[in-house]
Structure 1
């Protein structure tokens, strides 16, 4: 099992680690990792591994079996041997943009309070698919409300509940297409706002900014019809 350092500190840019093994297909498994693995619509992190005898670029990160996090090297990169002490260095600019987009999408689900049927995060933009039979009357008003929430510089925090508590409160789950991971005994919740003035609360395993003001202004792109009832809403960072 790999210790997921990004879960306790999403702002951690690099960390010392030890190579535990090589994964089937050529990936590297570390004992601890600041790299987020692909999941929940958020791409796996990229960056590099450095050790005294060499360096390798990491193209992406994925989940392995039994709690392992697998760092996938770029084509042609040599791998450090098991037992090697390395430094895992994140492509921080790319990750931070993922954090900004991810938190903005949580707010988008607030201004469009409809069931979410899918989603995707990228460094420049993100999108949510909604169970939305009819298009919104005033997209400009939605964009204005979204930017107003961002400008409030709301706190983003996390807490944990048990699997049983989540099962007893299914309304917490907004996404119809991806269910939060259960079976480990507890589920992570991401809150935007405070308990006294809560704007959003939902299960999520991804990385987020600490305050909504870090997102910066956003723009809503096209609202596209996807199937009989689904509509896709795209959100773009402005810097």
Structure 2
């Protein structure tokens, strides 16, 4: 099983690792990795694997999970073999934008839950932009403007963001940890990772986040729409400059 270094340090940009498996379709498995495999609406990382013995590098174009391991997809048949030591490095600019975007969604979710008690029915993101759907009956331009004002007040509070772990029984006793309409936690998980935006939002989450809300920068609500009688969507973008 691959050790997932990003779970405890989302700012780690690279690591040396040993190849523990390869496949004919360009998949490389490492003993540990900084690459996020995607999930919860956050896309996977991209980057490079560099053979430390030869200096040869190959691009990682996709990352996914297979039976507990993170599979790094490289174009064509990889020249790497089992036992090779490589330097695994992510595209940091892209990752950091995704971290800011993911945290922005948690700020949005935290505000809508706190102020309106609405669960999340869906979401998606790309670097610098995202959308989130909520179990809400009403949506308007005035509502979207009010939400934009409130979430940026939370950014300005410079709230610390902490990672922690709870035993499954403790997590199950804390239903507010799951903000989605459908509980997506696999039954087999015995320990639940949480993301805590201090004083605002505590959720079960497996993705990557910044350390403080100030790193997110200004969030703009750029669209709103109805996706059904009690399903409303908000679209956000991050202003440049971070």
Quickly name the TM-score band, shorter chain normalised: over 0.9
Matched, 1:109 2:109: yes
Conserved? CA contact 2:111–2:200, under 8 Å: no
Which residue of structure 2 aligns with residue 135 of structure 1?
Answer: 139
Could you tell me which of 154, 160, 164 is aligned with 2:165?
A: 160
Matched, 1:188 2:156: no
Residues 40 and 48 of structure 1: CA distance in aligned 2, closer, same or farther (over 3 Å): same
Conserved? CA contact 1:224–1:231, under 8 Å: yes
Shift of residue 134, structure 1, vs aligned partner = 1.1
Which residue of structure 1 aligns with residue 155 of structure 2?
Answer: 150
The SS at the match of 2:148 is: helix
Which residue of structure 1 aligns with residue 205 of structure 2?
Answer: 204
Conserved? CA contact 2:193–2:205, under 8 Å: yes
Higher mean alpha-carbon deviation, 127-136 vs 4-13, is at: 127-136
Conserved? CA contact 1:40–1:178, under 8 Å: no
Q: What is the CA–CA distance in structure 2 between the aligned matches of 1:34 and 1:191, rounded to whole Å?
A: 21
Matched, 1:179 2:184: yes
Q: CA RMSD in A?
A: 1.5
Which residue of structure 2 aligns with residue 61 of structure 1?
Answer: 63
Which residue of structure 2 aligns with residue 227 of structure 1?
Answer: 228
Return the TM-score normalized by structure 2.
0.91
Alignment coverage as a number of residue pairs: 233
Q: Which structure 1 segments of 5+ residues have no match?
A: none
Alpha-carbon displacement from aligned partner over 1:164-195 (angstroms, at most 9, x marks no partner): 112222222101245134423210111111xx
Shift of residue 23, structure 1, vs aligned partner = 4.0
Shift of residue 211, structure 1, vs aligned partner = 0.3
The SS at the match of 1:216 is: coil
Q: What is the CA–CA distance in structure 2 between the aligned matches of 1:6 and 1:63, rounded to whole Å?
A: 14
Alpha-carbon displacement from aligned partner over 1:148-171 (angstroms, at most 9, x marks no partner): 111111100021111111222222
Q: Which structure 2 segments of 5+ residues have no match?
A: none
Alpha-carbon displacement from aligned partner over 1:189-219 (angstroms, at most 9, x marks no partner): 11111xxxx2110100100000000001110
Q: What is the CA–CA distance in structure 1 between the aligned matches of 2:83 and 2:43, rounded to whole Å?
A: 28
